[in-house]
Amino acid sequence: MTMLENYDDLIAEMGQTEPDYTDIPQGGELSKEQFAAKMKAERDAVSELAMVTEMEVVGHGDLFKGYLDTLARFDRYSPQNTLLIFAQCPEAVKLGDYDHWKAAGTPVSKGETGIRIFEPGKEYLKEDKTIGTSMNIKRVFDISQTAARNKYQPEAAKHDIRTLLKALMGHSPAPIKLVDSLSDGVGARYNEPTGVIEVVRGLDGDSLFRCMAQEIAYAQLDHQDTETLTCNDKGFSAYAASYAICVKNGIDARGFDFSDAPEYFANRDGKEVRGEIKAIRDTVNEVAGRMAKTLEPPQREARKQEVRA
């Protein structure tokens, strides 16, 4: 008796189609003008989500710390997109668009609508004759939203503390000098008048990393050409950036406390808040980028291949 061929696998394969985004207009349903209006409405809604999230995270210490945890994982994304990731999927660890996950053999799970972020579109001429860049909505998915949700393993092996310290202090924005002690019992301090980072001798590895991360972040901010940051701002931003740098590199960061964040950001308008969040993100990104250049090739390659927007 001839056995009938089983086509169940073909049906399963054909069933792996891209999610049907019901909120995105399909071709032929709307006129060009209607389509453009709907896309603008979506961009406006996503932009509003980013602004609302921005004010929420600076109004609650735990939320601010949670946002920094997301920043630690996605420092290559713009500040606006990092806020959008935190708002929609705060536990995200690895992102890719639909085609990325399909090509990786781990298609997006049915029913997942993704995380909406912005990506640069075409350039255009503004009314003032300058060149602008349009922004489009892009949907990305965390690995937890794919068939690989239970298979995630960190791409970069954990480095020993000596290797991490060498990477952190390599190409420091300020020279580093050992001292016997510092006032107030701190382990390290960036001396603004001299432009030198002073470090107390004899610190253990994790303590040294935490101290150096904060002072290198401070020195980085001190070298930025910006009129939006005061000395006090640099101190807070450096503290926040150092927390994200520690989290990113597996350093114990339980001692960091952001309960004073609401008071710190009180009475600041949206532009000031955005400026500070951008300064924190840029600092983390700069330090992480320098570290990746001196760490083992796997981490350099992982950072190079990271999906960003």
Interatomic CA distance for residues 96 and 15, integer angstroms: 20
Residues 177 and 134 in one domain: no
If asked whether residues 92 and 174 sit together in one domain, one would say no
Sheet holding 176-179, edge to edge: 176-179, 196-200, 188-191
Q: Tell me if 3 is assigned to some domain.
A: no
Residue 1 banded pLDDT, cuts 50, 70, 90? very low
3 state SS of 114: coil
In a domain, 43, yes or no: yes
Listing DSSP states for 228-282 in one string gives S--HHHHHHHHHHHHHHHHHHTT---TT---TTHHHHHTT--HHHHHHHHHHHHH
What's residue 152's pLDDT? 59
Closest CA to 228 of 286, 287, 277: 277
Query: pTM score, two decimals?
Result: 0.82
Per-residue pLDDT at 205: 96
> Is residue 171 one of the residues assigned to a domain?
yes
What percentage of the chain exceeds 70 in pLDDT? 81
Mean pLDDT of 20-35: 62
Is the pLDDT at 12 greater than 50, yes or no? no
Residue 151 counted as domain residue: no
Q: What percent of the chain shows pLDDT beyond 90?
A: 64
Per-residue pLDDT tens digits for 168-204: 999 899 999 999 999 888 999 999 999 999 999 999 9
Q: 99 and 47 share a domain? A: yes
- 240 vs 298 pLDDT, higher one: 240
Q: 205: how many CB neighbours lie within 10 A of its CB?
A: 13
**Residues 229 and 283 both lie in one domain:** yes
**CA distances, 175 to each of 102, 171, 194 (Å):** 47, 9, 10
Q: What are phi and psi of 179, to 5 degrees?
A: -135, 165
User: Is the distance from CB of 79 to CB of 281 less than 8 angstroms?
Assistant: yes
- Rounded Cα distance between 288 and 171, Å, is 12
Give yes or no: residues 116 and 36 share one domain.
Answer: yes
Q: Where is the domain boundary, 118, 145, 172?
A: 145
pLDDT above 50: residue 22? no
The reported pLDDT for the residue numbered 17 is 47
Same domain flag for 207 and 131: no
Q: Report the number of distinct structural domains present in the chain.
A: 2
Q: Look at 71-75, 97-101, 296-300 and tell me which has the smallest mean pLDDT.
A: 296-300
pLDDT in tens, 196-252: 999 999 999 999 999 999 999 999 999 876 555 544 568 999 999 999 999 999 999
Residues 190 and 135 in one domain: no
Residues 6+ away with beta carbon under 8 Å from 162:
205
Measured CA to CA, the distance from residue 304 to residue 283 in angstroms comes to 18
Structure tokens given for 151: 């298979």
Work out the pLDDT band at 126, boundaries 50, 70, 90.
confident
Residues 61, 112, single domain; the answer is yes
Residues whose CB falls within 8 Å of the CB of residue 176, separated by 6 or more in sequence, listed in order:
169, 196, 197, 199, 212
9 in a domain, yes or no?
no
The residue from 119, 145, 171 where one domain ends is 145
Domain that holds residue 191: 161-305
Looking at the predicted structure, is the pLDDT value of residue 23 above 60?
no
128 and 167 belong to one structural domain: no
Is 12 inside a domain boundary?
A: no
- Distance in angstroms (rounded) separating the CA atoms of residues 68 and 248: 10
Q: Is residue 299 part of a domain?
A: yes
Stretch among 26-35, 82-91, 104-113 having the lowest mean pLDDT: 26-35
Quickly count: other Cβ atoms within 10 Å of residue 191's Cβ: 15
Q: What is the pLDDT of residues 134-144, one digit of tens each?
A: 889 999 999 99
- Residue 75 CA to residue 92 CA, distance in Å, equals 13
Q: What is the pLDDT of residue 227?
A: 58
What is the pLDDT, as a whole number, of residue 61? Answer: 97
Q: What number of other Cβ atoms are within 10 A of residue 92's Cβ?
A: 19
Last residue of a domain, one of 115, 145, 175: 145
Same structural domain, 181 and 289: yes
Q: Are residues 286 and 175 in the same domain?
A: yes
Question: Quick check: is 5 in a domain?
Answer: no
Number of CB atoms found within 10 A of residue 237's CB: 26
The C-alpha atoms of residue 195 and residue 3 are separated, in whole angstroms, by 81
Specify whether 196 is located in the same domain as 297: yes
Q: Is the pLDDT of residue 305 over 70?
A: no
